[in-house]
Amino acid sequence: MRTIQVQSPGLFTTVQDLGRDGFGAMGVSAAGAADAIALRIGNRLVGNPESVAGLEMTLLGGTFSFPDGGIVALTGSDFGATLDGEPVETWTSLEVMPLQTLRAGPSRAGARCYVCVAGGISVPLFLGSASTHVLSGLGGFEGRALRKGDVLQVGEAKDQTHKFARRRVPANMLTRFLPRKVLRVTPGPQSEWFAEAALRLFYESQYRVTEESNRMGLRLEGAAIPAHTARGEMITEGVSLGAIQIPENGLPIILFVDQQTTGGYPKIANVIAADLARVGQLRPRDEVRFEMVGWEEARSLLREQEESLRSKDLISG
């Protein structure tokens, strides 16, 4: 079996696939790629099924050697990657020869870059998924972020009989998935708890992502939303991916892929499914605003996104 050797792990690199949906009632969040679109496209570029596990690098990339070579694609944010010192183009497949080294640096824009390799990263599955949930120590590679000296197993590629042919995502298709600094949301379960003035403040304000943000949630700083005292205390309930909680200090928190599965703070809004990948590319000090959309528009935007991902024009070459 082919391997990848971790010479340097970067700031926070984990094994991720598309997550383990359906276990929230057991207290296990889905985890999975923070930018699922980048992982899905990366897998297609190297000939994998979309759900195969890859490496998710955060803010600062790692250095990886390929003793046996392989077909690789980097997607998501540009980390200035090189292969044996030569620049590597993102959103494009490339052939890595045996003993070559892939090195990624700090992010030039966005938060996360994905390394997808033909055959995928092979790790034991937990509840049907390879995704790492670091806070609980479950899934991925020993339930943790990668460390120097780790050796990753690579699965068997689907078809190794054909000569390598470069694939890429055309620029006109790529623009459909670029990051947004205005996140579209639908009303949260407790949106009616907030006065009109508080709702207006939330949607008119610009917020900044704080340094305390992570895969569990993005903490925002900016205009504090006035307390919802009229309703009193709420009972803890299940929470959804992308829910925007308003805690006692009034500063919003976007619950994300490693979120807790229950919460006791009211939720003023929820990021729509079509914009969740954009949340995964937000860095500390990035500024965001929120835009309300209706339920039907949210569904329509997701359908459009999925149609683009299924389009025969998504991959060329």
What would the DSSP string read from start to end of 157-172? PS--SSPP---B--HH
The token pair that represents 21 in the structure block? 């949906």
What would the DSSP string read from start to end of 115-130? EEETT-EE---BTTB-
The count of other CB atoms within 10 Å of the CB of residue 98 is 11
Q: What phi, psi does 247 have (nearest 5°)?
A: -75, -175
Report domain extents, the chain.
Answer: 3-169, 182-310
Distance CA 240, CA 262 (A): 9
Q: What phi, psi does 251 have (nearest 5°)?
A: -95, 120
pLDDT of residue 160: 62
The count of other CB atoms within 10 Å of the CB of residue 268 is 26
Task: Summarize pLDDT for 1-32 with one digit per residue, the tens.
Answer: 899 999 999 999 999 999 998 888 788 889 99
**Average per-residue pLDDT for the chain:** 94
* CATH level 2 (architecture), domain 182-310: Beta Barrel (2.40)
- In the chain, the percentage of residues whose pLDDT exceeds 70 is 97
Q: Worst-scoring range by mean pLDDT, 85-89, 103-107, 135-139, 219-223? A: 135-139
Q: Any residues with CB less than 8 A from the CB of 114 and at least 6 apart, and which?
A: 33, 35, 38, 39, 42, 54, 55, 56, 57, 74, 75, 76
The count of other CB atoms within 10 Å of the CB of residue 31 is 31
Could you tell me how many residues make up the chain? 317
Tell me if 253 sits within 8 A of 244, measured CB to CB: yes
Tell me if 148 sits within 8 A of 10, measured CB to CB: no
Query: Does residue 50 have a pLDDT over 80?
Result: yes
Query: Does residue 162 have a pLDDT over 80?
Result: no
Tell me if 16 sits within 8 A of 115, measured CB to CB: no
pLDDT of residue 144: 97
Task: Summarize pLDDT for 266-280 with one digit per residue, the tens.
Answer: 999 999 999 999 999
Q: Worst-scoring range by mean pLDDT, 163-167, 189-193, 242-246, 284-288? A: 163-167
pLDDT tier, 159 (very low <50, low <70, confident <90, very high otherwise)? low
